[in-house]
Amino acid sequence: METVVWSKPEHERAGTPLLVMMHGYGTDEQRMVNLFPQLPKEFTCAALRGPMPIGDHYGWFLLDYFLANDFADVIASTNKVFAWIDSVKGNHSSVSLLGYSQGMAMASTLLRLRPEGFKATVGLSGFVLENDLLALSESFDVPAPVLLGPGQG
């Protein structure tokens, strides 16, 4: 990921649980940075910026009014997040996900593709992608620890 804002300086991150935070459509990582003070202090939070420019802000993939998307864009963004997580996860005791709005679609997609990779997943005021290929790839041997709080946004 090109832009990541951390809740802790690098020398304080080793061995801590990592919370990867993903913002909504047409905003940026600062939306998630505002949540840092409300989250448990033992976590290292990392607010990622979506890779796709949306006007003056960012998103994870293009959406239309009906939430239609190009699944190739979804997978491209998902792979970028996976690559970033893989580059830092060895420094942390666990990795969890938190997504807001379109970030909820990203968090749930990451979980569906790699359920064993995350301690917990939280999705807030967003949506889970409906996609037949994604549904076929799911391999939940054990129910995933997930909290989805869908909303209107």
Domain count, the chain: 1
Q: Using the 8-state DSSP alphabet, how is residue 37 labeled?
A: G
Per the CB < 8 A criterion, the answer to whether 127 and 67 are in contact is yes
Q: What is the CATH number of the domain that holds 23?
A: 3.40.50.1820
Q: Which domain holds residue 108?
A: 4-149
Quote the mean pLDDT of the chain.
90
Q: Give the pLDDT confidence score for residue 153 in this predicted structure.
A: 45
Quick: pLDDT tens for 56-104: 999 999 988 777 778 889 999 999 999 999 999 999 999 999 999 999 9
pTM: 0.91
